[in-house]
Amino acid sequence: MATSRFLALDFGAESGRAILGTLEGGRISLEEIHRFPNRQVRVHGHLYWDVLYLFDELKKGLAAAAARGCGKLDGIGVDTWGVDFGLLDAKGELIGNPHTYRDPRTEGMLEAAFKTVPREEIFEATGNQFMPLNTLFQLLSLAKSKSPALANAKTLLFMPDLFNYLLTGKKCAEYTIASTSQMMNAKKRVWSKALLKKLGIPANILPGIVEAGSVIGPVLPQILEETGLAPVKVFAPGGHDTACAVAAVPATEGGNWAYLSCGTWSLLGVELDKPEISQEALDHSFTNEGGVAGKIRFLRNCTGLWLLQRTRLRWQQEGDELSYAEIARLAEKAADSAFQSVVDPDDPAFGNPADMPAAIADYCRRTGQDVPKSKGEFARCILESLAFKYRSIIAKINSMSEEPVERLHIVGGGSQNELLCQLTADACGIPVVAGPVEATALGNLLMQAVAAGKVKDLAEARRIVAKSVGTKRYEPQNPEEWDMAWRGVKQFFS
C-alpha cells in the first residue's frame, strides 16, 4: 500500500490541533504539528467563539504541514463540537462571532418551545435529546428576540461547515453535525421544516445536507499561496467530533459493545442501523445522532470531565497548580472516602458555576450527604459520580435492547484516567477497554482515507486503529460492594 498523508483539523471547546496522519502498510501514525487554545469570550453578558482567530490558527496548521515537507496532502478534514453555528449574509460574509453553547440566551427556551409544539412531537420528528444548548433552542431565542442577525441571515453553517466554507467557498451541512441540531428528521435525514415553521424559525437559511465522506471541494488558491500547500481537497470526515471518535472505536472482537467518548462531555451509547424513536428513549433522554457510514449513534449526552476541569481551574485560581495526574493520585489516596458522597453531573448547578467545588459542596448539603473536605475527596466524588452515571446509562440502554452490553470502549482524553476507567468497570460490572486517546483525530483521518479510496470501509478503518494503537483492558472488581453502593445512591441519577 502506498503511503498516504491526511491532515485532521480538530477543534475542541478547550483547544484545537492540526494532526498529520500517515497511512502506510495497514497502520496509521499521528503527529501533532500545531496546537492552540480555544476560549470563550464574554462580551456584555454573552459568550462567543473567536472564529477568525480559530481560522487563523487553522491556517497555521496548514502552514506547519507544508513546512514539514507535506505540501502535497491526500486530504484535509475538519471536525468540531456540535450545535454551534455562524450566520452568513447575502454576500457570504459572517454576521458577528458565533455564540457558544453555554451562552445564557437559551434560558427558558425549552418551555417556550413546548408551549407551541409538544415535547413528544419534537422528539418524534428529530429523535434528539432535549438540551437547552441545542441549535433549535439557540435559533428560537434569536427568533423570539427579533434578532437583526437572524433577520439578515442568508445561510446558517455549523462550526465545521463554517471552517469548510472559509477553506473552500462551498456551503453545505455535513450529516453528522446537522444531526446534533434537533432540526433534522432522524428517519428521513432531511430538515424538519414543518417543525421549524411552527416555531417561527426560517428553514430557508439551512444549506443542503451532505453525507460524511463527501468531497467538499478544493482549498482556495489564496489559502494555498498563503500556507505553501499544493492543491488539496477538503473532505467531510464526520463534522461532529464524536462521530469521528466513534468511527475510531477498535471494536474488532465482536459482541454487543457500547462506546464512551469521554472528555468535557461524556457521550455513551451504541451504534445502530436506524434511529430508536420510542417513548422509552424519550423518557430516558436518549438522542439519535448521525454516525459515519450511515450509522446512528444512539446515546445519552451527559456532563463529563467538565466537573474535574472546573474544579482544577478553581484550585489553580487559589494558587495550587495540580496536574490531572496529581489529582488522580489524590483521589486514589482518598479510597477511604469511597461512596461517601456522589453528585449527578447533569444537575443544573454544575452548568457553569464560578466555583465548582463550592457547587459540589452545596449539592451534597442539600441532598443530605457528607461534604468532601480534601482535594482528594472532591476528586474521588467526581470520578465515582461519573462511574455511577455511566452505570445508570448502560442500564437504560439494556432496558431498550434485546441483548445487554457486554463491553464498554472508552475513547478520548478520559481513557487516560486509569482510576476513572477502573471505577467505571467496577460500577458497570463489565470489562472496559480504554483507548485510543486520539480517537477523534484517528476517526477524522481514516474517514478521509475511506472517502479518498485509500481504505475500504468503516470496518477496515477500525482494524487499522486496532493494529496501530495500544489499548488497556480493565476488569470489574468487587461487584458485590458496588452493587450495594449503587442501591444507596441510584436515586441521585436521572
Q: How far from each other are the two terminal CA atoms of the chain, in whole angstroms?
A: 49
What DSSP string runs through 417-460?
A: -HHHHHHHHHHHTS-EEE--TTHHHHHHHHHHHHHTTSS--HHH
Q: Is the peptide bond before 207 cis (omega within 30 degrees of 0)?
A: no
What DSSP string runs through 53-66?
A: HHHHHHHHHHHHHH
Residues 6+ apart with CB under 8 A from 246: 259, 261, 271, 291, 292, 297, 411, 439, 443
How crowded is residue 367: how many other Cβ atoms within 10 Å of its Cβ? Answer: 15
Q: Write a three-state SS string for 391-406.
A: HHHHHHHHHHCCCCCC
- Is 241 considered catalytic here? yes
Of the candidates 90, 2, 19, which has an alpha carbon nearest to the alpha carbon of residue 437? Answer: 19
| Of 74, 84, 103, 241, catalytic | 241
Distance of CA 232 to the CA centre of its chain: 27
Of the candidates 24, 11, 451, which has an alpha carbon nearest to the alpha carbon of residue 233? Answer: 451
Q: Which residue has the cell 476513572?
A: 420
Of the candidates 219, 265, 237, which has an alpha carbon nearest to the alpha carbon of residue 412? Answer: 265
Whether the CB-CB separation of 155 and 201 falls below 8 Å is answered with: no
Helix, strand, coil shares, percent, the chain, to 5: 45, 20, 35
How crowded is residue 485: how many other Cβ atoms within 10 Å of its Cβ? Answer: 18
Cell numbers for 487, please give them.
Answer: 442501591
Q: State the Cα angle at 43 between 102 and 207, rounded to 5°.
A: 55
Instruction: Give catalytic residues, as residue numbers.
Output: 241
